[in-house]
A and B are shown apart, each in its own frame.
Chain A
């Protein structure tokens, strides 16, 4: 097994009755990276995570975490990772502090030797409240403090900031950055694209239980179209004859279009020849990659 790969999933299938929640999923997470795991609701993100944690038995394909089998070696794997679910349920009659200590100890660490106190302060969490009294965001903080308190090789975060306010999101980002600086790997499932763009080096986008895009953010951007907007001083050139152009709209002297990377030069040359008054071009945001990947095959481009 390649020691630089922490999570390796190939052709994973999980069926619930007739429904294929995972339908041949591939996923590779390398040591030391923050890997963004993106997909719409019901795409299979949480199912993947639950399979990686050995909570679900899969029907076909292989999954390895640290080169171990998640179903057979669940406990050995869990000692080396920490997991924060998207919807954190706490024991109603245990205080936050008790829950944090319990989770830290079950992972084989000691609360006193951990960053528990520092994190409680940074997340502004009161550990004496009972589980039932916490808000959604505070329940999430309990799980985050427990997960981040001791060093682990892998953090699995399932939409971890969905209940946090912007200030706490900032604290979360810092904590994840510090965690990776210490050599930890992170699998970050999220809907919040800006968060993934800021934290992740590589992303996998899934839909209907299958990976539709995977790679470094730069690579994905290279593979994708660039948005160009220009105002010309002379006669508007006829761009429709050039290949690799999409969504072309002309409004008097103003033109907007999307262009494939290989057609960018001829397009810019044609526009420059007509005389440029204004030109903006933007690399696709993750949002656009996301929409691109989600569009059902055959559906026309609308966005």
Chain B
């Protein structure tokens, strides 16, 4: 490594900012706006401190909420209470943004050949990675500052807001490091994305486990540090140092890995493929399954592991709560049996959103196939438009059903083996998991519709998912009218296994999804394929 190998970094940094000006701005704006809304709405929603403390205690008493958002360490702190959803859950969205940005400027460009084009100019070997890390790190700092300003504007104390903004910057830096490392492993940008997302998933689950059982586990994951920074109640500033140290280590590892591989290659040498295709491999449907096979396998394994861990947490929660006065409250609400089921229902609703990402990634892949000209090959080789459309829909939809089923089975296994009773778990949890599917279908169908209108509009599906998620998370906080909140298909899924199966809303969701798909087909059959 010499200074020459970093030549041109400054130009590339500006290039990153230019290409990201819309994506990074919109994403940053949404995050900052949500943080501001949470800060300002909390003060107006809870007029007295007593009401706020009661609500904070209720959150801590609900393991489902603690597993999702982390605990509130100081129930008297306004800031900590206002940032309940921001500290962990929205921090995940921060991480996702930086993974998307870093991957875009490293492995994606390497795969499509732009890095080679740039490498032929007077730009050093290490400049592309350095520029991606540097440019996104500046964005992370900007995000932290803006968030701090927004929180102060929302009525929270200055010092705490600075610390909180620092935690988002810190997590952003860690995510940049995670993505930079993940992008060195495989020659496929898709596999690199799965690795980075998987790492964030593991860190999130570790924190859920730590927050609901052994606290030291939460100290092992950067997603647990946001809570333990105690931004608004006796800030532990040194925790911010943990983010920086971890990020620097990850940057160093990424640089080391990059130096030991060839441009465009992964760390593992590509194995030769088959000389002949399998005998069944000869139509659009088979092609779609084969192209998505490895992704589906990774998702299935991840779903099984996550499901088993989440399931295993649930039955022990009754014990955890015995000492606390919250137990009495929960028992008034319906007993400890309900607690674990509430947790499972909450977990399933989050998992459904994650599985929706699988369906949308399949749709996005179809858009990329068309842009690259691969769809043209298929359509000009005797496959009809209907066959290519059906192949896309089948993989996205059947894949989602499969993943939710895997999750249902493994949550049941985890729950049963950890002492919750295997038989009743299967009877309760598997239907509850599968019941999330119609809502996933609706969002996936919206994604397909965007694709069917224009091949490069698949980002519309992601926008719809973000919108529905925001409605679900913040609709009540912002006191939006019920009909607006009800626009989200996820609002119509009953919280099984606590609530009963709701045949009507399930049927309505399925009809809506089918209707959107019909529209999509009508558009796809009559549009130009680029």
Partner of B275, one of A54, A87, A97: A97
List residues of chain A with CB within 8 A of the CB of B383: 75, 78, 106
List residues of chain B with CB within 8 A of the CB of A33: none
CB proximity of B294 to chain A, nearest CB, Å: 7
CB proximity of A241 to chain B, nearest CB, Å: 57
Query: Does A239 count as interface, using CB distance less than 8 angstroms?
Result: no
List residues of chain B with CB within 8 A of the CB of A81: 380
5 extra A-B contacts, CB within 8 A, seeds A103-B377, A143-B377: A74-B384, A87-B373, A89-B372, A97-B275, A101-B276
The number of residue pairs between A and B whose CB atoms lie closer than 8 Å in the complex comes to 115
Interface residues on chain A, size class: 35 or more
Q: How far is the CA of A143 from the CA of B373 in the complex (A)?
A: 12
Task: Please tell me if the beta carbons of A97 and B273 are within 8 angstroms of each other in the complex.
Answer: yes
List residues of chain B with CB within 8 A of the CB of A103: 377, 381
Question: What does the 1/0 interface line of A104-138 toward B look like (CB < 8 Å)?
Answer: 01111001000000000000000111101100000
Instruction: Tell me what chain B mostly uses at the interface: helix, strand, loop, or mixed.
Output: loop
Q: How far is the CA of A107 from the CA of B383 in the complex (A)?
A: 8
B295, closest chain A residue (CB): A93
Interface positions, chain B 263-321, Cβ under 8 Å from A, are 270, 272-277, 281-284, 286-287, 290-291, 294
B-side interface residues toward A, CB under 8 Å?
Answer: 111, 187-188, 270, 272-277, 281-284, 286-287, 290-291, 294, 372-374, 376-385, 526-530
Q: How far is the CA of A88 from the CA of B385 in the complex (A)?
A: 20
CB proximity of A253 to chain B, nearest CB, Å: 52
Q: How far is the CA of A87 from the CA of B379 in the complex (A)?
A: 16
Asked, given contacts A53-B380, A55-B379, whether A105 binds B275 with beta carbons under 8 Å apart, the answer is no
CB proximity of A109 to chain B, nearest CB, Å: 9
Task: Please tell me if the beta carbons of A106 and B281 are within 8 angstroms of each other in the complex.
Answer: no
Task: Please tell me if the beta carbons of B281 and A107 are within 8 angstroms of each other in the complex.
Answer: no
Q: How far is the CA of A93 from the CA of B372 in the complex (A)?
A: 14
Q: How far is the CA of A57 from the CA of B528 in the complex (A)?
A: 6
Task: Please tell me if the beta carbons of B272 and A56 are within 8 angstroms of each other in the complex.
Answer: no
Asked, given contacts A85-B376, A92-B188, A130-B270, whether A101 binds B281 with beta carbons under 8 Å apart, the answer is yes
A-side interface residues toward B, CB under 8 Å?
Answer: 50, 53-57, 74-75, 78-79, 81-83, 85, 87-98, 101-103, 105-108, 111, 127-130, 132-133, 143
Task: Please tell me if the beta carbons of A98 and B283 are within 8 angstroms of each other in the complex.
Answer: no
Task: Please tell me if the beta carbons of A55 and B376 are within 8 angstroms of each other in the complex.
Answer: yes
CB proximity of B164 to chain A, nearest CB, Å: 41
Task: Please tell me if the beta carbons of B281 and A105 are within 8 angstroms of each other in the complex.
Answer: yes
Partner of B291, one of A91, A95, A106: A91
List residues of chain A with CB within 8 A of the CB of B111: 92, 132
Task: Please tell me if the beta carbons of A75 and B273 are within 8 angstroms of each other in the complex.
Answer: no
B386, closest chain A residue (CB): A75
Instruction: Pick the most buried of B270, B275, B281: most chain A CB atoms within 10 A of its CB.
Output: B275
Q: How far is the CA of A127 from the CA of B274 in the complex (A)?
A: 8
| A–B pairs, 20, beta carbons within 8 Å | A50-B376, A55-B528, A57-B526, A74-B384, A74-B385, A75-B382, A75-B383, A78-B383, A83-B380, A89-B374, A96-B273, A97-B273, A101-B282, A102-B287, A105-B277, A106-B283, A106-B381, A128-B274, A129-B272, A130-B270
